[in-house]
Chain A
């Protein structure tokens, strides 16, 4: 098991205590392409934040590659995020005053990789995603799809164990959404990267091999979706 969650609970204490995750048990193997699907307020974002070590949980255990992720210092958490996890966000979260290649380089900068080396690597990844010509452009000069591909390159550059994608198609049109999902699928198949996608769209979830349904902080059905038939629209349907 690459990822293992054992009875994870999380409560927000903002005035009225809100029990968001009510005992989550989940295991994800290396090389899986999984989506976590649920409506808003189901706790899927909280789960993603915990998986990404951006937030901590109250009780239970969370292991990545057999390593317990609990009570980490900010510095350790930052280091784990840097080396083990790649993030893809709905709003891309590129740094606006840095060019595409500089954005892709950034995780390596925090690893202390030399200027020359990280530039070289960033160019390789951009090239793979077909953006070599756009390396010197700033995010506001690119389309949504291009921005998301830069973000994917940034997530991949540290060769992390897990890619966490939070509504990766949320800000994209249907055609680009499909391209992005195909790209993620391709990365999963060709490179064997473990990818976890959080979404509320059944179309997006249908692109993945396994769908974890979450509702009211509890994991419901876990669907095997290798046939890609889960969508209400069925096979060959477009998303959205």
Chain B
């Protein structure tokens, strides 16, 4: 092995400038590949963060309008979800696939604290909403089971909402334990959550039971949310949705195959689309990167051809004193791989450095999309998997670049090679 590297070094040393110029093309190719993939990852991460406000296995259900006449009732009837739907969702019928069930009911109300007030929306929720909607608590706590059981008058509000109730300069945590007026009633603030750019800022979370009782909603429920389990494929998700809709439709005397009587929004579908999008983007970037690299590989191949031409006489000597064709092939291919790998790794290193730089600059800046602040790139960069893949690409590329020149070198007959000058 050491002998082989000595030989490669001897050869490369004689043609430093030529080797470096060729190597630059390879470095550039790998550099582009890494930067493209890194930026692509950053972009996808940014999308994911934007759409990541819900657990990927969560399903939301809402009432709709019937689209078919059924059981003596005409089409176009309004369906309102109620307690029975909630019970049905959590019943044994769907126990295989339904994990946690929560329902919401809400109403608009004026929220005030001291002289400050704003018009908000009171969202009656179950404790499980925290997980499903990924509510991040900054101070205090989220709603708990005791709040539900006792129908306590407590609220959890986002930071940005809390700020509206405070004079500037006051920390939002000072609101914890204080009472705010919601409509005509006083609710105690038990938690402050992190503001979510994707959701309405004016939403306050209160216990489901409290909102239902206080605002006289009777049996009516705004929406049902639940998390699913054991639904790994798209087909399984669709089958489950079909059965679930049929069950709810039946309860509301709507046709079992009526698609519009209740709305089911399953994030699993979105998730599949998202990961498909990610795959397509990354494939496209790989292709662009590989084509950029191709230029470098052609360059290396070209240089190896020239090297072989120049060294024909030397190979003739080597063959005369006992080098087999494979010895010669090995020499050329390993030289080609060494050049490709060496300059490739320089490119990879610089590419990763650039990704880090992107993270420090573009990664910190945000742009405004529909009045919401969205980071342009989130954690751009590539993982170890890409580094390993790129290494493989380099070795394959080096072998390819060296293959034809090596074959040419190995196939020259020793007497002809000895005659060459």
Evaluate whether A78 and B319 lie within 8 angstroms (CB atoms) in the complex, with A49-B415, A54-B414, A54-B415 already known: yes
CB neighbours (8 Å) of B16 from chain A are none
Stretch at the interface among B87-95, B155-163, B209-217, B321-329: B321-329
What are the residues of chain B within 8 A of A83 when measuring CB–CB? 322
Bound complex: CA A94 to CA B317 (Å): 8
Give the residue name and chain of the A residue nearest to B320 (CB).
A87
We find that the number of chain B residues with CB closer than 8 angstroms to chain A is 23
A154 to B317, CA, bound (A): 11
Residues of B within 8 A of A154 (CB): 321
Q: Are A74 and B322 in contact (CB under 8 A)?
A: no
Closest to A94 in B: B317
Categorize the interface residue count of chain A: 20 to 34
A81 contacts B320, CB within 8 Å? yes
- Name the distance in Å between A54's Cβ and chain B's nearest Cβ: 5
Contacts of B410 in A (CB 8 A): 74
Q: Which residue of B lies closest to A96 (CB)?
A: B314
Q: List residues 370-421 of chain B with CB under 8 A from any CB of chain A.
A: 410, 413-415, 418
Distance of A81 from chain B, by nearest CB (Å): 5
Quick check: is B199 within 8 A (CB to CB) of the other chain?
no
* A59 in contact (CB, < 8 A): no
Query: A55 at interface (Cβ–Cβ under 8 A)?
Result: yes
A110 with B415: CB separation less than 8 A:
no
B contacts with A: majority SS: helix
Of the residues B3, B317, B319, contact of A95 by C-beta under 8 Å: B317
- The answer to whether B14 touches A78 (Cβ under 8 A) is no
Whether A111 contacts B322 by the Cβ 8 Å rule is yes
Contacts known (A81-B320, A115-B3); A97 close to B10, Cβ less than 8 A: yes
Say yes or no: A75 contacts B326, CB within 8 Å: yes
Q: Are B324 and A78 in contact (CB under 8 A)?
A: yes
Assess whether B3 is in contact with A110, with CB atoms less than 8 Å apart. no
Bound Cα distance A78, B319 (Å): 6
Of chain B, the residue at the smallest CB distance from A81 is B322
0/1 interface trace, chain B 301-324, chain A, CB 8 Å (1 if under): 000000000000110111111111
With known contacts A110-B327, A115-B3, A78–B322 Cβ distance under 8 A: yes
Task: Report the separation of the CA atoms of residues A115 and B316 in the bound assembly, to the nearest whole angstrom.
Answer: 23
Contacts of A233 in B (CB 8 A): none
Could you list 12 A-B pairs, sorted by A, with CB under 8 Å?
A: A54-B320, A54-B413, A54-B414, A78-B323, A81-B319, A82-B322, A87-B320, A89-B418, A107-B322, A109-B3, A110-B321, A158-B322
Q: Which 3 A-B pairs have the closest CB atoms?
A: A82-B322, A110-B322, A78-B324
Identify the B interface with A (CB < 8 A). 2-3, 10, 14, 313-314, 316-327, 410, 413-415, 418
